A and B are shown apart, each in its own frame.
Chain A
Amino acid sequence: MDTQTLTLALGDATHAGRTFDVMPIAGDEPVLQVTVSGAEETPVYVTVTDTQILCLAYLFDEQELNPERLNELHENMLRISVPMPLSSLGKTGQHYVVYGALSPASGSAEIMQELVTLAENAIDLLQTFEDYLA
């Protein structure tokens, strides 16, 4: 599975009543921005390497958070990460992200499932952790 194949596969597919809007992100790396219908606010970014398909959505940046409640937030993020279906929480640069990795051998059904779950989890997480924003 590469980003081109994925773009074509997602273009007119429906999964669990959702449609996908795919836009390539310009640059050296093959990155796609996928918007899932019904969860348009949290686009999912997809990149494909030889070892994994990495899907991630941005939650918030470090500077948006209340510094006094940072430890509490981290504790809660670690705890919620385990039971959350298919996705994990992480941080890259200043961004807190929710992400999921799939085998490059995954079919488009698995990838669509991942995209829908990730976008919904991102919305759920934002609303869950809203109180920690500065």
Chain B
Amino acid sequence: MKSVLKKILTAMRGGVNELGEAVVDSQGNRILEQELRDSEQELKQAKHELASLMAEAASLARQIRTEQDNASKREGDASKALAAGQEELAREVAERIVGHERRAAELSQTREGLQQRIASLKTRVQTAEKQLADYRRELQVVKTNERVLRTTAQIDTNINSQQSSLSTAKETLERIRERQAREEDRQSASAALEKELTGADLDEKLKAAGIDGDQDAVNDVLARLKSKTNE
């Protein structure tokens, strides 16, 4: 099976990404969904069959054990009959033993065949499970792809009906720059306002004019000290 991603990519590069000629169209989608359902059905059947075969094998094993138990029990009986000189009775018991052993052998053969079928069924279940996971993943890719195509087509139609055309990247960039400039203006305006409120702007102007309140106070103190020492 060709990778679904590869299929989509090939079709897209061929320019088949318009609506209505979607790569894996709704028909293909339905086929995938049908395949998924078939796979699920097969898995369910295989598991059901597996369960009944395993139950059958267990029941056979039980029957085999019973026959074997009976055979060994009868062997004791036969020995006792021989010891008692009952040759005829011992022969009758021996015939029963042969019967048990034969049935045990037959049942074992049936069980062996059954176990082979169980093993191959288990492989089938595993294969089906893997296939199911593959289908699910593919279906998801296909559906997402369709959804994106339909969604973007819808957006474009909508924008086109509202404006003369989709705004270009350059127009968008222009609007971004205008907003960013407005934000910067607002920020510097609020910084200026802040200075005004605290009086920092006046202090700056006074300092620029050579009038510095702090410096004046220092000079006053120095002058006072100097005049004291001179006295």
Contacts and interface: CB of A to CB of B under 8 A. Distances in A.
B172 A45 contact: no
Contacts of B144: 49, 51-52, 54
Interface stretch (B40-48, B95-103, B173-181, B192-200): B173-181
A107 to B, nearest CB: 22
6 closest Cβ pairs, A-B complex: A60-B169, A27-B154, A41-B175, A47-B151, A25-B158, A41-B176
A73 interface: no
A31 B173 contact: no
28 contacts: A25-B154, A25-B155, A26-B154, A27-B157, A27-B158, A29-B151, A29-B154, A31-B151, A31-B155, A33-B155, A41-B179, A45-B151, A47-B147, A51-B140, A52-B144, A54-B147, A59-B169, A61-B168, A93-B17, A93-B152, A93-B153, A123-B176, A126-B172, A126-B176, A127-B173, A127-B176, A133-B169, A133-B170
B214 to A, nearest CB: 39
A126 B173 contact: yes
Contacts of B169: 59-61, 64, 126, 130, 133
A51 B157 CA distance: 25
A92 B146 CA distance: 11
Contact of B148 (A28, A40, A54): A54
A61 to B, nearest CB: 7
A29 B143 CA distance: 13
A35 interface: no
**Residue picked from B17, B144, B155, B157, most chain A C-beta under 10 Å:** B155
**How many residues of B sit at the interface, in one of the four size bands?**
20 to 34
Contacts of B179: 40-41
A48 B38 CA distance: 28
- Interface SS of chain A: helix, strand, loop or mixed? strand
A92 B170 contact: no
A115 B157 CA distance: 22
Interface of B: 17, 140, 143-144, 147-155, 157-158, 166, 168-170, 172-173, 175-176, 179
Contacts, number: 71
- Interface SS of chain B: helix, strand, loop or mixed? helix
A41 B148 CA distance: 22
Given A60-B169, A127-B173, 14 more contacts: A25-B158, A28-B150, A28-B154, A31-B154, A42-B172, A47-B151, A49-B147, A54-B148, A59-B169, A61-B166, A61-B169, A64-B170, A126-B172, A133-B169
Given A27-B157, A41-B179, A93-B17, A130 B151 contact: no
A54 B151 CA distance: 10
A54 B148 CA distance: 9
A22 to B, nearest CB: 14
B152 A26 contact: no
Given A29-B150, A126-B172, A49 B166 contact: no
Contacts of B147: 29, 47, 49, 54
Nearest to B152: A92
Contacts of B154: 25-29, 31
A31 B17 CA distance: 20
